[in-house]
Structure 1
Amino acid sequence: MTSIRMVLRTGLENLSRLRAALPWLAAAALAAVVARPARAACDCVLPGPTFYPPHVPEAFAPAVFTREEVAALTCRPARQGRLACTWTARYVLTRTQSTAIPLSFAYPTGADITVSFDGAAVAGSVDALDPRFGVDQRELFATWPAGQTDRLVVEIRADLRLSPSQCGCDSARTTNRRRHPLVTRADATTYALHYRPDDAPGTMRLTLDLRRPWQERRPRLFPGGKGRRITRDVVKERDEPAVFAFKTLYRLDPGGPVAGLGLSFGPEGLRPRLRLGWEVAWPKIWVHSLVIETDARRRVAIIPAWELTYPYTPSRWIPEAGVGVGVPVQLAPVARPGVRVFVRLGWLWAAVVGTFDVYPAVRGAPPERLGSLMLQFGL
């Protein structure tokens, strides 16, 4: 009896301690929930190719000064979600001694680079880059000859293919990345190019020119910059690279296959309903799909449909909702078009889809109203 009392007393004491700790646990949980979006939206460094201004060896650096610096990035759509880009830069250099001065130009591996001195292309030697500049880089060496003018205009042009950058710290997912994780693996809309200018001069002119609409990511070099082409005079930040990081808008999201099963309600009563098709998104807020549905007995229809959703969620674990319309084309038992409205409530690759179809009277067949409730999956 005494042991039972001791056990009860110990349990009550533990319960009291747990009750006292509940406010602290709730506060910690709330803090975690609030802090999670901040981590999801973190501004991590986006990977991308890196360019540098002309490099002067230390022995000659005190005699060479950069008086003017202009850089630009121009990009056009290319295959496989990449951009065909051209990086151009212009420098006005002066020197205080007339001796020959070696210069080197660092650029990413795979870029096709051309360097010009006062408008004339120079044939330099190409070698592996000095390790202090990083990996996946190359270096072109050229010489500012002795006896020429003490003012030199250096122009650089590099053609390269820019691939999407993956930050890795943003847990928010686009509609089709959540619905089709096996097919739509990457968010092919964010691109970045890094440029590491010297301290002097204190400002430089930067231009970003894209054929399609774009929106800049942080850190912002172009405050309020949206559109197709924009130019700014930027004040340099010491030891900080200038990052051309931007998102192209209205890009086609490849999506993936969908399959569903459920029940339909119509003139024949309660019957099974099966569906199979594919869906894409363009822009991300608007999902386009083409599916074929059947009751495995009598009815067969092809349905193009359009669904309005939201492109991002704060977390991949938050359910999403969508509403849409479609144009079901019934193939059997009577060929005729109809109108569909539907709603969708999904979580990751699974969703519940409710549809309502109306078929007008045609060829002597009476009008019909069909409804269905299906469980749908994506890959």
Structure 2
Amino acid sequence: MTSRPRSLALLRLLPLLAAAVALAGSRPARACDCIRIGPTFHPPYVPEAFAAAVTTSEEVAGLTCRPARRGKLACTWTARYALTRAVATDIPLTFAYPTGADIVIRLDGEVAASSIAALDPRFGIDQRELFVTWPAGQASRTVVEIRAELVLGTAICGCDRARTTNRRRHPLVSPASLPDYAVVYQPQEQPESMRLSLDFRRPWREYKPGLFRGGKGRRITRDLRKDDDDPATFAFKTPLRLDPGGPIAGVGLGFSPEGLRPRLRLGWELAWPQVLVHSLVIETDARARVAVIPAWELTYPRIPHPIIPDSGIGVGVPVQLAPLARPGVRVFARLGWFWCHVLGTFDIYPAFRGAPPERLGSLMLQFGL
């Protein structure tokens, strides 16, 4: 008698369990739709004890970025603030800047503080600070100028799984980063408007707030009216970014005129752009046949959910080195999850220098690092 009510209760819980599973499955699909995290720039901070006596009458900022080595951007951040004080006393100013940036701060054209690029000795800290005093003997109005040089790496997204082609197939070699760059600016409430300039040499887009519509690599200047002090995040996409990829190794069975034999492969592959995978491998049957195969594979640039398999189709140009040097044509297909895949190949070697045509095939299990 007691087992039947329990079974009915479990049946009633099934819709709730199904809904929970659906929600859990839908989260990763939305995980990639989040703000990019990058280095943050701030205006000068005035302590609360002096904040009421200091006002900002002018705010001008600009960001210029150029391509740098190893897929990074060399950026320059400049800002100018006109400050006015109502009391004749020393005013402390604090300047927060990203770790690793070269920064110079000037008051009325004179260098007041500077820092060289260096890693912060405290782990987990991505911001550093400089402290400047606005002396009481100076005028009641001063112009603060900030210039910072930094090398910008790829953006980080806290809720993103970075399931790009190389990251899926080579989790130990390819970085878990996005093909985007991001810089964050935290404006202050005053003044009510500011002037902001962006000068990039790569396609870019801006996330929040909607200050700019993006561009294809040009200088844009806007006079903006600020509604609040929400941060503005500028993200730069790099659709043709070259990712490092990683090594591949495979083992399986192959058929040839000699019959079934083991098939081994070892090589390297990379994605550029992410939808196209380039590879160069050496294959052998561990007896007589050796071939070098450059290949190109069309695949998904990003998988929205881990359950969806990573698949692709491609062509190659096998060059057999032994037993007879001859070129051929390959078609292949791949299906798998993350770093483990099933690879099927079919090669055709046409008649060459008196040798008859040959057809070879294989089915291998391939791994990436």
Aligned positions of 1:314-353 closer than 5 A: 314-353=304-343
Distance 1:147 1:261 in 2: 76
What is the aligned counterpart of 2:145 among 143, 155, 159?
Answer: 155
Displacement, 1:248? 3.0
Matched, 1:227 2:206: no
SS at match of 2:217: strand
Q: Name 1:131's counterpart in structure 2.
A: none
Cα deviation for residue 336 of structure 1 reads 1.5
2:216 is paired with a residue whose SS is strand
Residue in structure 2 matched with residue 186 of structure 1 by the alignment: 176
318-327 or 29-38, which deviates more = 29-38
Q: Does 1:304 align with 2:294?
A: yes
1:205 alignment partner in structure 2: 195
Tell me the distance in 1 between the aligned counterparts of 2:356 and 2:148.
67
Closer, same or farther in 2 for the Cα pair 1:214/1:283, shift >3 Å?
farther
CA RMSD in angstroms comes to: 3.1
Per-residue Cα deviation, 1:198-239 (whole angstroms, up to 9, x for no partner): 2112232333333333444x3354453142235344443534
- Contact 2:290–2:322 (8 Å) recurs in 1: yes
Change (3 A) 1:332 1:125: closer
Q: 97-106 vs 168-177, which deviates more?
A: 97-106
Q: Could you list the runs of 5+ residues in structure 1 that have no partner in the other structure? A: 1-8, 127-133
Specify every segment of 5 or more residues in structure 2 that has no aligned partner in the other structure, as ranges: 116-124
What is the CA-CA distance between 1:182 and the residue it aligns to? 1.3
Aligned counterpart for 2:25 among listed residues 29, 33, 36: 33
Asked if residue 137 in structure 1 is aligned to residue 137 in structure 2, the reply is no
Of 222-231 and 255-264, the range deviating more from structure 2 = 222-231
8 Å contact from structure 1 (residues 303, 329) kept in 2: yes
1:150-175 residue CA offsets vs partner (Å, 9 max, x unmatched): 76544321112233343331235111
- Aligned in 2, Cα 1:95/1:123: closer, same or farther, shift over 3 Å? closer
Contact 1:252–1:283 (8 Å) recurs in 2: yes
For residue 182 of structure 1, what is the amino acid of its counterpart? L
Aligned residues: 359
- How far apart are 1:147 and its partner, in Å? 6.7
Deviation at 1:307, TM superposition (A): 0.9
Report how far residue 293 of structure 1 moved.
Answer: 0.6
Structure 1 counterpart of 2:176, one-letter code: A
Residue among 53, 59, 64 paired with 1:74: 64
1:84 to 60, 74, 99: 74
Aligned AA for 1:91? Y
For residues 287-346 of structure 1, give each alpha carbon's deviation from its aligned partner in whole angstroms, at most 9, with x where no partner exists: 111000111122111011111111111123421111111111111121121121111112
Q: What CA distance in whole angstroms lies between the structure 2 residues aligned with 1:83 and 1:107?
A: 17
8 Å CA contact 1:212, 1:249 repeated in 2: no
Distance 1:135 1:325, change over 3 A: closer
The residue correspondences of 1:1-379 to structure 2 (distance < 5 A) are 9-38=1-30, 40-41=31-32, 43=34, 46=37, 48-56=38-46, 61-62=51-52, 64-79=54-69, 81-94=71-84, 103-117=93-107, 120-124=109-113, 136-141=127-132, 143=134, 152-187=142-177, 189-216=179-206, 218-229=207-218, 231=220, 232-379=222-369
Q: Secondary structure at the match of 2:296?
A: strand
Give the 3 Å change call, closer, same or farther, for CA 230–57 of structure 1 in structure 2. Answer: same
Secondary structure at 1:227's aligned position in 2? coil
* Distance change >3 Å, CA 211–CA 31, structure 1 → 2: same
| Contact residue 36 and residue 233 of structure 2 kept, 8 A | no
Superposed displacement of residue 101, structure 1: 6.0
TM-score, scaled relative to structure 2: 0.84
In our comparison, the structure showing a higher alpha carbon Rg is: 1
